[in-house]
Amino acid sequence: MVTMGKKKKALLFAVVLLICAWPLMRSLGEANEELRFTTAVVQRGPIAARVTATGMLSAKVTVQVGSQVSGRIAELHADFNSVVKKGQVLVRLDPQLFEASVEQAEANLQAATGGLARARAEAEAAERQAHRAANLFERHLIAQADLDSAQANAAAQKAAVVVAEGALAQARAALRHAQVNLAYTVITSPINGVVISRAVDVGQTVAASLQAPTLFSIAEDLKKMQVHTSVAESDIGKLNKTMPVVFGVDAYPGESFVGELAQIRNDPQINQNVVTYDAVLNVDNSDLRLKPGMTANVNFIYHQRQNVLLVPNAAFRFRPPEAIEKTAATAPGKGPQFRRALWVLKGGRPEAIVVETGITDGARTEIASDALQEGDELILDVAGEPAKASRPLRMF
C-alpha cells in the first residue's frame, strides 16, 4: 500500500511539473519556428580571377614648356585645349631689354674690331722700326740698347694684337649671347600636340634666374594614352603581356575600357615597407573620352572559366549558432584540395557541406566538386534565437 501511494504521488508530481513547464516549452518551440534563413541560390556562369590595381591616365608624351629668360609676358597665342604645331609661337616676352643688350653687344663688337685694327697697325709699325734699327746697328750707327728697345717694342705690339683678337672674340660671343636671349623671348611649341595646362597670363613676369618656369604643358597625342599602375609584389608574378586588361573610370560608371600591358618596370617603389612595381598600360583613346589625370581602377585578368558553379563569398563567412550546428546534418564533399565548408538549406533543415573551391573574383567563388548542384540554397544568415531551445529547465 505504501508503494502504491508513492507511485500516485510521483505521478501527480510529474503531471504538475508538465503543467508548469508547458508554457516555457511552447515558447521555446515557437522561437524555433520563427527562425528565418537568408539564402542565395547556386548558379552557373563565367568567372575571372584578377589582380586589381589603381592608376592614373596620362598622355604617352607630355612636354613642359618653360622660359629660358626672365621677362614680362607681352603676348599669349595658346590657351587650354589649343591644338598646336611644332614651331608655333605660344608666348612672346617683352623684348626691349634684350634688344638693348643686342645693340650694346654690337657696339662693343665694333669697338673691338677697331681695337684689333689699331693693334695690327701699331704692330706693323713696330716691326718696321725694329728692322731699321737692326740695319743701323749692323752699320754701327746706333747702340745695342737702341736695337734692343726697338725689338722689345715690336714684340709688345705683336702681343697687343693677340689681346685685341681676344677682345674681338669676346665681343662676338657677347653679341651671340644677346641675340640668343632675344630669340628666347619668342617661345614656340617643341612638338605637335594639345595644350593641357597654362600657368601664365599676359602681363605676368616670369623669373628664370634659378630654373626655367613652366608656362604650358603640352600632350603630344591624347588619342594614345597610358595608365601607370602600382601592383603589389605578391601579384606581379601573375602578370604577362598577353593577358586581358580592363579598367574603369569614375567619369563613366559601369563602363569598361580595354588596355594593353606594355611594360612592367623593374624599379621597385617602397612605401611604408610595402613594395610595388609600375605596370604601364597602353590605351586607345580615339574618341577622346578619357582625360589626363583620371583615376583608373584596373583589372588584370590572369585566369577565366566558363559555365561553372558559382557561390557568393558571403556563404563561406556564415557561422551557424551552436544549437543549429549541433543538430544539423553533415555531408562531406569530394575533392582533395581547397576544401571549405558551406551550409545548405535542404527540406527546411540546414546541412553542412564541404566543397572543393576553384578561382574567385573577390565576390564569387567557383565550386570545383560535385557536392553542390545548380539551384541549391546556400545559407548566408539566420534570424531568431535557436539557442533558447537548448537551455536547461530550472524548476523551483
Question: Residue ranges of the domains in the chain?
Answer: 32-50+307-387, 51-59+225-303, 61-94+185-220, 97-174
Task: Please state, in angstroms and rounded to a whole number, the distance separating the CA atoms of residues 157 and 160.
Answer: 5
Mean pLDDT computed over 126-152: 93
Mean pLDDT computed over 255-260: 95
Q: Does domain 32-50+307-387 have CATH number 2.40.420.20?
A: yes
CATH class of 51-59+225-303: mainly beta
Mean pLDDT computed over 34-45: 86
Query: What is the per-residue pLDDT across 303-357, written as a single tens digit (0 to 9) for each?
Result: 999 999 999 999 998 887 765 655 555 544 444 446 788 999 888 788 888 999 9
Task: Please state, in angstroms and rounded to a whole number, the distance separating the CA atoms of residues 354 and 330.
Answer: 9
Instruction: Assign 392 a pLDDT band (cuts: 50, 70, 90).
Output: very low
CATH architecture for residues 97-174: Orthogonal Bundle (1.10)
Range name among 13-17, 69-73, 235-239 with the lowest pLDDT average: 13-17
Task: Please state, in angstroms and rounded to a whole number, the distance separating the CA atoms of residues 231 and 55.
Answer: 9
Q: Is the pTM of this model over 0.85?
A: no
Mean pLDDT computed over 275-279: 95
Average pLDDT, the chain: 85
Task: Please state, in angstroms and rounded to a whole number, the distance separating the CA atoms of residues 182 and 186.
Answer: 8
pLDDT of res. 32: 45
Topology of domain 61-94+185-220, CATH: OB fold (Dihydrolipoamide Acetyltransferase, E2P) (2.40.50)
Does the structure show a pLDDT above 90 at 280? yes
Instruction: Assign 58 a pLDDT band (cuts: 50, 70, 90).
Output: very high
pLDDT of res. 369: 85
β-strands 329-331, 349-360: how paired?
Answer: parallel
pLDDT, greater one: 363 or 388: 363
Does the structure show a pLDDT above 50 at 16? no
Mean pLDDT computed over 40-67: 93
Q: Cell numbers at residue 98, please? A: 634684350
Does the structure show a pLDDT above 90 at 187? yes
**DSSP run (H or E) holding 43:** strand 43-59
Does the structure show a pLDDT above 70 at 234? yes
Range name among 15-29, 212-226, 359-373 with the lowest pLDDT average: 15-29
pLDDT of res. 384: 61
